[in-house]
């Protein structure tokens, strides 16, 4: 995609609000999509040298703040500040998530609440705040929710995490109906197994089994997810909404 494609009719860069952009997949999305000319407002609970370097390198297109997505007041203030800096957002990428492994019967209740609050409630809260500002643009917009193959297939010891991701997919489908008349699309991207912090609990033997069960015979990469996000954010995806795009090499076939 040419960089000018990420601007509205030759004006300012299209503004995207991204949760969890300081590390992992969120950082990869930020790095990859910056190349397309977008401006980003992103937040995480903690900073990293990587996000600080991006802010320094692109001060006119990257804004970062330390915000806990479960803090309603803090999140609301962040969105207001983001709009002041870059204008109403063209898009939102809900990426913040945690995965706490454990059999449900023995999983501490506080961890259940944390996953629900961050993965699902956080997605709903940020989307709600952003949509209110997107209405004033009177232009097409995009909401992307980073789901997971676990929400579709399930996995032993990740029942609550799976529930949050399945809930995110359902949220995408229903919200797509609400905002479709405004030309705002809402889709989920469900990555397959990747070498990220969330897959660190899997040893090489387990990862090897996953690769062998995958038709494309490899794990997904952050680049694969960035490519999917790039397309769904583009003008060419304007007729795609309410969908869950599995980026998993065919393991869910």
Q: Apex CA 54: angle with CA 48 and CA 55, to 5°?
A: 90
Label residue 132 left, alpha or beta by phi (over 0 means left) and psi (-120 to 50 means alpha): alpha
CA distance 40 to 87: 11
What's the rounded mean pLDDT across residues 168-196? Answer: 94
Q: How far is CA 7 from CA 57, 82, 86, 139, 170, in A?
A: 20, 17, 12, 12, 30
Asked whether residue 119 is assigned to any structural domain, the reply reads yes
Task: Count how many domains the chain has.
Answer: 1
Burial of 236 (C-beta count, 10 Å sphere; 0-12/13-18/19+): exposed
Q: Which of 38, 90, 161, 193 is catalytic?
A: 161
Rg (C-alpha) for the chain, rounded Å, is: 18
Write out the two tokens for 214. Answer: 């995958």
What's the rounded mean pLDDT across residues 87-109? Answer: 96
pTM: 0.93
pLDDT for the residue numbered 184: 98
Q: Is 193 a catalytic residue?
A: no
Residue owning tokens 């490899």: 218
pLDDT in tens, 34-80: 999 999 999 999 999 999 999 999 999 999 999 999 999 999 999 99
- The candidate with the shortest Cα–Cα distance to 91, out of 230, 191, 190, 223, is 230
pLDDT in tens, 100-133: 999 999 999 999 999 999 999 999 999 999 999 9
Residue owning tokens 């992103």: 42
Dihedral angle over CA of 121, 124, 130, 135, nearest 10: -160
What's the rounded mean pLDDT across residues 186-190? Answer: 98
Q: How confident is the model at residue 201 (pLDDT cuts 50, 70, 90)?
A: low
Q: Which domain holds residue 120?
A: 3-241
pLDDT for the residue numbered 2: 42
Asked whether residue 250 is assigned to any structural domain, the reply reads no
Asked whether residue 20 is assigned to any structural domain, the reply reads yes
Q: In CATH, what number is assigned to the domain containing residue 218? A: 3.40.50.720
Task: Check pLDDT > 80 for residue 154.
Answer: yes
CA distance 108 to 157: 13
Asked whether residue 52 is assigned to any structural domain, the reply reads yes
Asked whether residue 246 is assigned to any structural domain, the reply reads no
pLDDT for the residue numbered 207: 80
- The candidate with the shortest Cα–Cα distance to 90, out of 126, 26, 136, 44, is 136
pLDDT in tens, 239-249: 999 999 999 99
Asked whether residue 247 is assigned to any structural domain, the reply reads no
Asked whether residue 43 is assigned to any structural domain, the reply reads yes
Contact assessment for residue 216 and residue 248, using Cβ atoms and an 8 Å cutoff: no
């Amino acid at each position: 995609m040419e960089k000018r494609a990420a601007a509205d009719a030759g004006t300012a860069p299209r503004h995207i609000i991204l949760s969890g952009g300081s590390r992992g997949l969120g950082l990869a999305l930020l790095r990859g999509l910056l190349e397309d000319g977008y401006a980003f407002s992103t937040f995480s609970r903690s900073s990293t040298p990587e996000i600080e370097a991006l802010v320094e390198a692109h001060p006119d297109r990257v804004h970062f703040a330390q915000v806990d997505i479960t803090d309603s007041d803090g999140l609301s203030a962040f969105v207001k500040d983001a709009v002041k800096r870059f204008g109403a957002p063209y898009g939102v990428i809900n990426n913040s998530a945690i995965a706490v492994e454990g059999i449900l019967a023995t999983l501490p209740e506080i961890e259940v609440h944390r996953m629900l609050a961050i993965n699902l409630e956080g997605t709903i809260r940020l989307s709600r705040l952003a949509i209110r500002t997107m209405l004033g643009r009177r232009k097409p917009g995009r909401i992307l929710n980073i789901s997971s193959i676990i929400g579709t297939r399930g996995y032993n010891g990740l029942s609550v995490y799976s529930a949050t991701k399945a809930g995110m997919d359902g949220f995408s489908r229903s919200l797509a109906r609400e905002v479709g008349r405004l030309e705002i699309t809402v889709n989920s991207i469900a990555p397959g197994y990747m070498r990220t912090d969330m897959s660190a609990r899997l040893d090489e033997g387990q990862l090897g089994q996953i690769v062998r069960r995958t038709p494309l015979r490899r794990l997904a990469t952050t680049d694969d997810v960035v490519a999917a996000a790039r397309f769904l954010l583009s003008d060419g995806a304007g007729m795609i909404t309410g969908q869950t795009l599995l980026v998993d090499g065919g393991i869910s076939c």
